[in-house]
Amino acid sequence: MSTPQLDKTYSPHDVENRWYQRWIDGGLFHADPAHTGQPYSMVIPPPNVTGSLHVGHALNNTLQDILSRWRRMQGRNVLWMPGTDHAGIATQNVVERQLQAEGTSRETLGREAFLRRVWKWKEQSGGTIIGQLKKLGASCDWERERFTMDPGLSEAVREVFVRLHQDELLYRGERLINWCPRCLTALSDIEVEHEETTGKLYTIRYRLADDPTQCLLVATTRPETLFGDTAVAVHPEDDRFRHLIGKHVRLPLTDRAIRIVGDSILVDREFGTGAVKITPAHDFNDFEAGERHALKRIKILDLHAHLRLADSLADAAVAEAVENLPVAKARPKIEQLLTDQGFLEKSEPHKMALGKCYRCKTVVEPFLSDQWFVKIKPLAEPAIQVVEDGRVRIIPEAWKNNYLGWMRDIKDWCVSRQIWWGHQIPAWYCETCYGTPFLRRSSDGAPLIPSDAVAIVAKTMPDACPHGHRDALVQDPDVLDTWFSSALWPFSTLGWPKQTPELKAYYPTSTLVTGLDILFFWVARMIMMGLKFMGDVPFRDVYIHALVRDAEGQKMSKSKGNVIDPLHVMEQYGTDALRFTLAAMASPGRDVKLAEERIEGYRNFTNKIWNAARFLLMHLDGERVDVPPAQRSFPDRWILSRLNTAISTVTQELEQYRFDRASSAVYQFIWHEYCDKYIEMVKPALKDATSEQAKSTRQTLAETYETMMRLLHPFMPFITEEIWQTLPHAGASIVRSPFPTTRTDWESQEVEQEFALLEECRALMNQARAILGYPAGKKLHFRAHGKTSKVGSALRKHKFLIEYMENVEDLWIADTFEGSNPGGLLVLTGNSVQVRTSMEDADLQKAKDNVIKQNMLLQKEVARTQQKLSNPDFVAKAPPDVLSEHHERLKRESQIIQLFQEALGHIEVHTWDRKRHERS
């Protein structure tokens, strides 16, 4: 029989493409709800359809793939559900930029044509990231790929919207919301990123209406909003200002007088001047203060956050100077005007948090408008409950409090977006009932639905309004927040609202793997919606992985130029190397700092694996005899026992989502136990290919390597499949072969202990070589002493192996440490083994230096141990085993020192001999 041979270095490229295609062709990732295994399901965190793979995706999906492949091999009924989300704002931005480049705009095209255009773009470019996930080896069930705007998922969205509305958990109203003046849409609170910046704190004089010689000093960071002021607040218990409450001040630069009110909530007496201007239409706190004092709301900004002072009664000259300017440009002009007219008391630098749009980084404005909100408290309560009682586990647990804290303080969720790409809100309004046709926005012709128009919420357009009017129904032009549909992902992808076999088999899903950054955006909302509409949690475990940073710990960003492109890495080092690196570095609660050298290190690991396989195939020709483990050779029994431990460790660590420990365990085993030790040990046995020994060793080699490939497969799917296919194996693909399980007949404590003796012996021999300056290639004579006859006989049993591994000739073995050393040998002692060797050809001066150095180190340690043992408290209070360990240590160290002293004496004699010899 002949086995195939492999190339000298592993070249990932062809291997990866070839096997991925075959896995797909074989339908190996396809999930069948009728499969008899216990279901194991995950939904992918849907990447933006506009996106392309970055390292964060690579980490996220590598971990999911490890879980999927591992569970699949364990025989579970695995579904890993893939797909993308429509990323409303981001996608619309992309297509709008294209239109802009073409000299047109979405308004010119009109809604329908624009949407056709986006769909076209999505069909062409939307698949990019999916292709990249496939390159990564993701074993998703691609036949089930979903998109948040698929018909089925859109139906789920409408169903949820209607039911939330029926349950009075959804309402429309005029509120202050976060507005992005560039995207021209509302944002939810968490779509605003806060960034610390240094601005200015301006102190402005507001003159009293009835005594213009007196003024109230008001502090603000936004002087341009004074045009929207409708009151000034002071603390009702502030003696400085209490007498002013109820009086009026003249608003600078305008022809208005505004009231002074007392407000203990809004005003912090310690801060600024103790007096605050109230701008209800442009500040969240002021909005609430405005409600408390029944203040008018004056809007002074338009959709683009340009000043519009028509309602503010601003001085004509002022209005002319700043009208239609963006805030950033208007502010310095206002500052100048205030200065010129003597209103500005002072301005000083001031640190503050500025809110920016998470999509485009434009400064967001609090903006008064009609929006749809989800009433969130009733949904949040059960979602808090399930995390508190552990029905949903958050791993690592440290994030649990983070989640709970946020959920307990959650605010209503603004779900309407003033864009076109997305799920258009299933609400209609009757113009006939309203009395007049709705106004249309001149920019895009979208209807402006008045606050008091009554919404008819339904899954499909109603034939008529409740009053029977048929011809003037207008659909709400807004679309829903993308996260609204993402929140349904764990059940909408399984067919809900239809009761499908998939839904039955795979919901609740088993695990969700995601990054911390979307814990609130997505995880929290899935839990709320899952509980509300499925009556059960959407997943049992949430594994939260860290952010990927660059080697310096900086967040990767295109502008910093420190982005590691996973596709480039895969091309250069192979996908398996990238995956393994990410898994190995995924320690919980810590950011992943990724440096390319680490990937290179694991590329080397793939090459090591590859070459070990080459070694196997070179020696696998010939008969293999399968004898019971207990009857196999010592190296065979040892590697089986170690393999057993590795299987147990990897499995346990994966169960606890310790990808880092699992991968380092498999790395350690393969490189340092299998390659460094085991393969070296079996070489002699394979020399005579026809021997009985060779036959059973070949069997062990094949069996262990094949098992090892299955153990490694979830981490490195490609190379393991490639090698596995060349080895004796059962089954068509490693993808569906069983994950290794432990076997009691493989484990042998006895063999492992014997091996430890060999290692001790070898280490001492190496140390002796180093001290005496003998090169590794030089054959030496050694004497090995066992501390007991049991150790001695173990050494005797493995005499040949020691000789072979350590390049030793005629090893002489004794059963005791006792016995004189008449030959002036160098003696080194370990716990159970002592080795002695000749110094004949050594570099004696070097040896002397080495021994003196070692001796000094040891003496320091002895002194420490002695000191501890001479402390009566220690002797009295330390536990007996610690005490005896210290005594033992002292004894051993003292012995070694004595032996070193002797060695020094011998070295002197040898040196002297050698000199005499040279002279004569």
Sole binder of RNA in the list 770, 852, 856, 909 (CB under 7 A): 770
- For 869, other C-beta atoms within 10 Å of its C-beta total 16
Between 675 and 814, name the residue whose CB sits nearer to RNA: 675
909 near RNA, judged by CB under 7 A = no
Taking the complex as a whole, how short is the minimal distance between the CB of residue 319 and RNA, in angstroms?
22
Per the CB < 8 A criterion, the answer to whether 695 and 625 are in contact is yes
Taking the complex as a whole, how short is the minimal distance between the CB of residue 594 and RNA, in angstroms?
8
- Segment interacting with RNA, rule: CB under 7 A, options 63-71, 91-99, 452-460, 514-522: 514-522
What span, in angstroms and rounded, lies between the C-alpha atoms of 59 and 569?
13
864 near RNA, judged by CB under 7 A = yes
Between 106 and 175, name the residue whose CB sits nearer to RNA: 175
Sole binder of RNA in the list 104, 362, 587, 726 (CB under 7 A): 587
Per the CB < 8 A criterion, the answer to whether 232 and 277 are in contact is yes
Per-residue binding string, RNA, 526-555, x by CB under 7 A, is -------------------------xxx-x
Between 446 and 839, name the residue whose CB sits nearer to RNA: 839
Taking the complex as a whole, how short is the minimal distance between the CB of residue 411 and RNA, in angstroms?
8
Taking the complex as a whole, how short is the minimal distance between the CB of residue 72 and RNA, in angstroms?
28
Question: What residues are paired with 208 via a beta bridge?
Answer: 211, 249
DSSP 83-132: EEB--HHHHHHHHHHHHHHTT--HHHH-HHHHHHHHHHHHHHHTTHHHHH
Q: Which residues make Cβ contacts (< 8 Å) with residue 436, sequence separation at least 6? A: none
Sole binder of RNA in the list 58, 160, 190, 727 (CB under 7 A): 190
Sole binder of RNA in the list 418, 486, 493, 865 (CB under 7 A): 865
Between 145 and 600, name the residue whose CB sits nearer to RNA: 600
Per the CB < 8 A criterion, the answer to whether 183 and 357 are in contact is yes
Between 147 and 755, name the residue whose CB sits nearer to RNA: 755
Between 535 and 553, name the residue whose CB sits nearer to RNA: 553
What span, in angstroms and rounded, lies between the C-alpha atoms of 646 and 742?
9
Taking the complex as a whole, how short is the minimal distance between the CB of residue 52 and RNA, in angstroms?
22
Taking the complex as a whole, how short is the minimal distance between the CB of residue 68 and RNA, in angstroms?
25
Taking the complex as a whole, how short is the minimal distance between the CB of residue 762 and RNA, in angstroms?
7
Taking the complex as a whole, how short is the minimal distance between the CB of residue 812 and RNA, in angstroms?
22
Taking the complex as a whole, how short is the minimal distance between the CB of residue 250 and RNA, in angstroms?
18
- Segment interacting with RNA, rule: CB under 7 A, options 132-140, 312-320, 442-450, 762-770: 762-770
353 near RNA, judged by CB under 7 A = yes
432 near RNA, judged by CB under 7 A = no
Per the CB < 8 A criterion, the answer to whether 495 and 502 are in contact is yes
Between 35 and 375, name the residue whose CB sits nearer to RNA: 375
Per-residue binding string, RNA, 371-410, x by CB under 7 A, is ---------------------------x--xx--xx----
Between 161 and 202, name the residue whose CB sits nearer to RNA: 202
Per the CB < 8 A criterion, the answer to whether 573 and 582 are in contact is no
293 near RNA, judged by CB under 7 A = no
- CA 857 to chain centroid, in Å, comes to 44
Sole binder of RNA in the list 125, 362, 500, 611 (CB under 7 A): 611
- CA 418 to chain centroid, in Å, comes to 32
- The β-bridge relationship of strands 427-430 and 456-457 is antiparallel
Alpha helix stretches (DSSP H) within 366-486: 377-388, 398-408, 431-434, 482-486
868 near RNA, judged by CB under 7 A = yes
882 near RNA, judged by CB under 7 A = yes
Nearest to 782 by CA among 847, 838, 735, 833: 838
Sole binder of RNA in the list 99, 861, 894, 895 (CB under 7 A): 861
Per-residue binding string, RNA, 321-350, x by CB under 7 A, is -----------------------------x
List the helix and strand counts (H, then E) for the chain: 31, 31
Taking the complex as a whole, how short is the minimal distance between the CB of residue 132 and RNA, in angstroms?
22
Count of chain residues binding RNA (CB under 7 A) = 93
Between 402 and 432, name the residue whose CB sits nearer to RNA: 402
- Segment interacting with RNA, rule: CB under 7 A, options 115-123, 250-258, 470-478, 595-603: 595-603
152 near RNA, judged by CB under 7 A = no
760 near RNA, judged by CB under 7 A = no
Question: What residues are paired with 683 via a beta bridge?
Answer: none
DSSP 706-739: HHHHHHHTTT-HHHHHHHHHHSS-SSS-GGGSPP
Count Cα neighbours of 402 within 13 Å in the Cβ-side half-sphere.
Answer: 15
Between 291 and 517, name the residue whose CB sits nearer to RNA: 517
Using CB under 7 A, which residues numbered 210 to 249 contact RNA? 219-222
188 near RNA, judged by CB under 7 A = no
Nearest to 805 by CA among 795, 814, 815: 795
3-state secondary structure of 767: helix
Specify the amino acid at residue 886.
H
Per the CB < 8 A criterion, the answer to whether 844 and 914 are in contact is yes
801 near RNA, judged by CB under 7 A = no
Using CB under 7 A, which residues numbered 656 to 715 contact RNA? 660-661, 664, 668, 671-672, 675-676, 679-680, 683
3-state secondary structure of 801: helix
Between 634 and 874, name the residue whose CB sits nearer to RNA: 874
Using CB under 7 A, which residues numbered 553 to 582 contact RNA? 553, 555
Taking the complex as a whole, how short is the minimal distance between the CB of residue 892 and RNA, in angstroms?
11
Angle at 635 between CA 629 and CA 637, to 5 degrees: 20
Nearest to 204 by CA among 352, 365, 331, 367: 331
CA distances from 755 to 87, 749, 760, 790, 809 (A): 59, 10, 9, 14, 20
Between 444 and 673, name the residue whose CB sits nearer to RNA: 673
Q: Where are the beta strands (DSSP E) in 209-331?
A: 211-220, 231-234, 248-251, 256-262, 275-278
Encoding tokens for residue 176? 């202050």
What span, in angstroms and rounded, lies between the C-alpha atoms of 685 and 461?
81
Per-residue binding string, RNA, 252-281, x by CB under 7 A, is --------------xxxxxxxxxxxx----
652 near RNA, judged by CB under 7 A = no
Between 283 and 481, name the residue whose CB sits nearer to RNA: 283
